[in-house]
Every structure is written in structure tokens, then in C-alpha cells.
A and B are shown apart, each in its own frame.
Chain A
Amino acid sequence: MDALTRHVILRREKAPSGFLPRVRRRLMLHSGQVLALLAVAYVVLAVSNLGINGERILRGIDQGAKFIARLFPPNFAARWDDIVHDMVESIEMAIMASVIGIALSLPLGLLGARNLMPPAITWPIRFLISLFRAFNPIIIGIIFVKAVGFGPLAGVLTLSVASIGFIGKLFIEAIEEISLKQVEAVRASGAPFLSLIRYGVMPQVSSRFVGFAMYQFDSNLRNSTTLGIVGAGGIGGTLFAAFQRFDYRIVSAIVIVIIALIILDEFVSERVRRLFE
């Protein structure tokens, strides 16, 4: 609690005396500490409830050490062709889903902005976007694998839905913050509707949109490496298979390739972001 709030509470609560008001005042002043204490108490309770105790933790450490030992040295050679093929598939899934997701988020963002559209339009659009955001990509992935079958198509659909859920929402928020004065001026010039959007709205949000889009691509790339676990294409499938065969040296090879990809992506997206600033 900051000093000003504390001061205000102290002043306001000066008058009342008696037990209850004093307790309430103490609670308000120390609300932060009280919350922290409750949180610690909860964690202690939960840990013992889940059977996590000293003995279990030691056993875990022991097993972890053995596991790490079996990861090395990484074996790239054994499944190199599969790794390359699946990595390329992951990247392609991420790119396609980003393009589809961003392309659909743009109109959805415009239609969902309450300062541009009437409630009859914004309400269903916002509901749809919330729905898309409601589930973890793995769950959406399972649904799409059931719906369209195993493989990258399910992955692309999954990541597209996830993209719309996230950047659709961010687009709407950005559009709702624009200055309507600029929009009014373009409207007064007699510009047709799409020209109005292009000149009155887009210049105010485009640089933020690029940032959101890049962020979503990062996120899609990461998720595209896990979706294979549920059969939706990409490197995750090979990784999961290696785990199940206890081929830990292949697991570590795949993990290293994924790490390299993510580092490369960070590097590239930083460049792109700077380009658009």
C-alpha cells in the first residue's frame, strides 16, 4: 500500500474507536501482508495434501539426476531427416497460422471495437474471440485432430484459432483507444468507409499491430513445437515418440534444435520490430 493511501485511511479512520473499527483499520492498513500470509499458509497445506514431502523430493532429485545423465551426448544423426522435416513443418505451421490469424483478426478487430460499431455487431464478435481464447491450444488441437484428422492441417487450424483469440482481443483494445477526432476529420472529407478505416483508424494503430503480430508469431512458433504431442503435426510428434521409446539422446538433440530455433526467432523478430518503429 502506498504512502498516500495509508495516509488517507489513517485520517478517515481516526474518529471511530472501539474494538471492531480498530481491527478493520489494521486489516486495511496491512492488507498486503495479510494476503501474503494467507498465500504461504495455502501453499504449505496444498503441498502436504499432494503427498509432496522431504522423502518424495529426494527421490525426485535422484531420478532427475539419472535422467539428465541419460540425455547426453545428444544424438543428432539417428533421426536427422525426421528432425529436419518436422522442424520445417513446425515453422510452416506457425507461419501459415500467423498469416491466417492476423488476416482474420484485422476485420474482426475492427468489427469488435465498440467505438466504431454498434453493440449488435461488437457483442457476437467479442464473444467469438473470447471463446477462441478460452481454451489452451493443446485442447483445441485435440478437437481439430478429431475433426479433420492427424497432421499439420489440424495444427494450422489450432494455431489460427489461438492467434485470433489473442491478437483479435489486442487489436480491439488498440482500436478502442484511438482518437476519434482524426476519424471525424476523414469522415468529413467524404471518404468511403474503407478509406476512412485506412486513413482515420489504421495509422493510429498500425505500429502496435505489427508488435502484436510479431508477438503472436513467436507464440505460434513455440506452440507449433508442442502440438505434435496430440498428433497435430510438427516436431512435437517426433519428440514425444522419442520419449516413449526412452531414446533420451534423441530427445536432447530435438530439444537443442528447438532452442536454436527460438533463439534465431528472437533475433529475427527483434530486427523486424525495430524496422517498423
Chain B
Amino acid sequence: MSETILSIQHLSKSYTANTQVLYDVSLDVVSEGILIVIGPSGAGKSTLMRCINHLVTPTSGKIIFRGVEVSSLHGKAMREVRRRIGMVFQEFNLVERLTVLENMLIGRLGYMSTWDALRRKYSDDDIGKAEAMLERLGLAEFALKRADNLSGGQRQRVGIGRALMQNPELLLADEPTSSLDPKTSVEVMQTMAELARERRIPVIVNMHDVNLARRFADRIVGMANGRIVFDGSTEQLTKDTLAKIYGGDSWMH
């Protein structure tokens, strides 16, 4: 049995008055599995993802996360929702001048008081969790290295670890493998899939690599021009649907 954990209802977004990026998007996400969103550049994938945790404010429509309408929240309540949603980025977005360990601990900032955060005073429990997570990711030896000393694949593992340190109930990943080579991409996706499965949390991933998407997705959503044009299983993702998502099929040959 799988309950709906996230419900996006009639979501629209315009950054400026006369350019609409999302048109009436509706999508329900259940409590487990990997949902991969594909679609051409500019389709609105990143915008949709950032509307979920309100890094971008929707123009209209509702985001309902675990029964709470996110758009109605402010301040502390909004931050608590963000804390419950982990996010992984294309360019890792680590704080480069801090150590790998402290980057992991950034995942705990949503739980820490400002006063403790300003003094960088982490609880022993949090430090223990961060170390265990680094161990798990095979990065224990890098704990005290500065984040900008790592390779792309290692950085993205830190990015995933940081997001999981939030103890999230949902994981968002915006093109987590687009800055990585094909082999590392698969390894990073495997790590993410494995950790999400263990924690029984759903993952939404934006991706350009259709083959990688087929390999990892439990469900695929295709977006074009700010609308959802496909929603189904990997088997249902035929050449015709791909042509519909990306416009034409000349690129496939």
C-alpha cells in the first residue's frame, strides 16, 4: 500500500508577467520509489522541483506535502517543511571552503538553534551521524578535507549525504548526474537509490539521460513546454512518447 505523500495541484508559475513557465501542472507522488522527470531544456523541470520546497514561489496552485499546504506556510513552519525535504543539486552546491564533515552537518542546520549554528556547536549525536554517513558513502577518510578538494563523484556523494542528514521524508534531485561521467553517474544513482530504498522515502529526479532514467525509474514523467505530457512506467516510454516529449525523432538516430 502506498499513500500519497506529495500532491501538486494545478501549479502554474511565471517568473515575469508575460512568460509562463509552468501551466496547470498536477502530480501525485506516493511514499516510495523513484520518479524521474525528463524533458527538453527549458521545459520547467527545475522550476517544478523548486516550487515543491518553495525555493521558488508558485504563481498559483497548491503544493500539499503530507497533508499540509506548503504555500500557506511562513517563517519557521516553511523552514520545517524544507528540512523534511532533502535536495541534491546538479553542481553539488557544497560550501567549498568548509570541510566535508561540516558540509554533512549543514543538513542538521534546520534542527539546530541559530545560536548553536553561529558558534558551529554541533551535538555529539549529529557529529556521530555525519561520520556514520560518510563511512557509508565511502568518504570517511575525506571527513576533514575541504569540500573543493573532492572529485565530482565524491562531491555528489557528499551532496546526497547532506540531504539525507536532514532525515527527509522526500528527496529531490535536480540533474544529480549531469556534471558526472557515465560510470560515476550510474554509481551515484545507485547510491541514491539504495539509500532512499533503505529509508523508504520517495525520490524525484530531474534527468536528461533517457537510458539512465529507464534504468533507475519506477515511474517516468515527461515534461514539455511547462506541461506534463507523459506519465507512466519505463515500458510505456516508447519512441513515440519520446518524440512527443522532445519534439520530433530526428535526434534519436
Contacts and interface: CB of A to CB of B under 8 A. Distances in A.
Interface of A: 181-182, 184-196, 198-200, 203-204, 206-207
A185 B93 contact: yes
A191 B106 contact: yes
A190 B84 CA distance: 8
A80 B239 CA distance: 93
A181 B91 contact: yes
Contacts of B91: 181
Interface residues of B, number: 31
A189 B109 contact: yes
Nearest to A203: B97
Contacts of B38: none
Contacts of A185: 87, 89, 93-95, 106, 159, 162
A184 B94 contact: no
Ordered nearest first, which 10 A-B pairs have the shortest CB separation? A190-B110, A190-B83, A185-B93, A191-B109, A190-B82, A195-B117, A188-B87, A190-B79, A181-B93, A203-B97
Contacts of B159: 185
Interface of B: 53, 55, 76, 79-87, 89, 91, 93-98, 106-107, 109-110, 112, 114, 117-118, 159, 162, 166
Contacts, number: 84
Nearest to A195: B117
B229 to A, nearest CB: 28
Contacts of A189: 82-83, 87, 106-107, 109-110, 162, 166
A187 B81 CA distance: 11
A206 B96 CA distance: 13
Given A189-B162, A190-B80, A191-B109, A182 B95 contact: yes
Contacts of A182: 93-96
A195 B118 contact: yes
A199 B114 contact: no
B129 to A, nearest CB: 14
A181 B82 CA distance: 16
A188 B84 CA distance: 10
Nearest to A193: B114
Contact of A190 (B81, B89, B118): B81
